Amino acid sequence: MSDRLTVRKTYKLYIAGAFPRSESGRTYVVNDAKGGFAANAAKASRKDVRDAVAAARKAQPGWADRTAYNRGQILYRIAEMLEGRHDEFTAELRRTGLSKADAAAHVDAAVDRWVWYAGWADKLAAVTGAANPVSGPFFNFSTPEPTGVVAVVAPDDPLLGLVSVLAPAIVAGSTAVVLASELSPLPAVVLAEVLATSDLPGGVVNILTGDRAELAPWLASHMDVNAIDLTGAAPDQAPELEGAAAGNLKRVLRPSGTDWTATPGIDRMTAFLETKTVWHPVGV
């Protein structure tokens, strides 16, 4: 056993590609599964939510303008970076109470999930778009487009659950503001470090830690957020959040009972797609 004192990490927010503390200066204590001190995580404020939404909005057109192939490559790069930090994530997950084998299996699955979604980037339009045989001399086609800025209330499964809701939200060109698990926020912050080194443009993903019941209503009612994923919302708060989301007719995703280890369907991606249909006359 070395006498060397370890250098601990400061767990901060991830906004616009940078790692700020909460502008409020607030933190909260995160304990490990045995009740011991793990870290002081940033406790984001309403202002942090607004900053994160502004960053996501700013990044969205550029991210959507990337070719689907390029977005797929970047998602694959995230998988590569995650694989490279396998041991670190395993250690983080063990602190949340998983056994070493379970923790490693979760990291494996999270890497594989990024790979799975990476491959979808340049296939979604072929599967969800259409050439429509209308009754007249028109060329008519439908293509999927990203909804815009997506707010994600992430589930408490701190890595695999988070990756499983984040990857589908951004793969088609939307950008995301994520409220990480309140109980186990630290893997989300380490994931932000992966995202920051994967050629993902700043602002495409913004991750906030803190009191989700406090922050979620600000996201649900934010007029510049286009959709909200309530997967991790408390059941007693979800109806209120859905009601607030009606203010600007956000698209609302509220699934129940998802098994994060199962291979996903495409419904999480299509939830944040709009269908655009273009008509043009055919003639000489």
Site mask, other proteins, residues 183-222, x = CB under 8 A? ----------------------------------------
- Binding status of residue 281 toward other proteins by CB under 8 A: yes
Cα-based torsion angle of the residue sequence 181, 183, 186, 188 in order, rounded to the nearest 10 degrees: -10
- Binding status of residue 278 toward other proteins by CB under 8 A: yes
- Give me the residues paired with residue 150 across strands: 176, 227
Cα distance between residue 263 and residue 234, in whole Å: 24
Binding-site member from 87, 102, 199, 267 for other proteins (CB under 8 A): 267
Q: Which residues contact 244 (CB under 8 A, 6 or more apart)?
A: 217, 220, 221
Cα distance between residue 178 and residue 166, in whole Å: 8
Which one, 84 or 239, has the nearer CB to other proteins?
Answer: 239
Cα distance between residue 267 and residue 255, in whole Å: 10
Footprint of other proteins on 122-161 (CB under 8 A): 127-128, 130, 132-136, 138, 140, 142, 147
Footprint of other proteins on 247-266 (CB under 8 A): 247-249, 251, 254
Region from 8-16, 199-207, 208-216, 267-275 binding other proteins, contact rule CB under 8 A: 267-275
Which one, 108 or 242, has the nearer CB to other proteins?
Answer: 242
Cα distance between residue 224 and residue 111, in whole Å: 31
Which one, 25 or 281, has the nearer CB to other proteins?
Answer: 281
The CA-based angle 206-27-190, given to 5 degrees, is 45
- Binding status of residue 243 toward other proteins by CB under 8 A: yes
Please report how close the Cβ of residue 197 comes to other proteins at its closest, in angstroms. Answer: 31
Q: Which phi-psi region, left, alpha or beta, contains residue 16 (left: φ > 0; alpha: ψ -120 to 50)?
A: left
The single-letter DSSP state of residue 122 is: T
Binding-site member from 33, 62, 99, 279 for other proteins (CB under 8 A): 279
Binding site for other proteins (CB under 8 A): 127-128, 130, 132-136, 138, 140, 142, 147, 226, 238-240, 242-243, 245-249, 251, 254, 267, 274-281
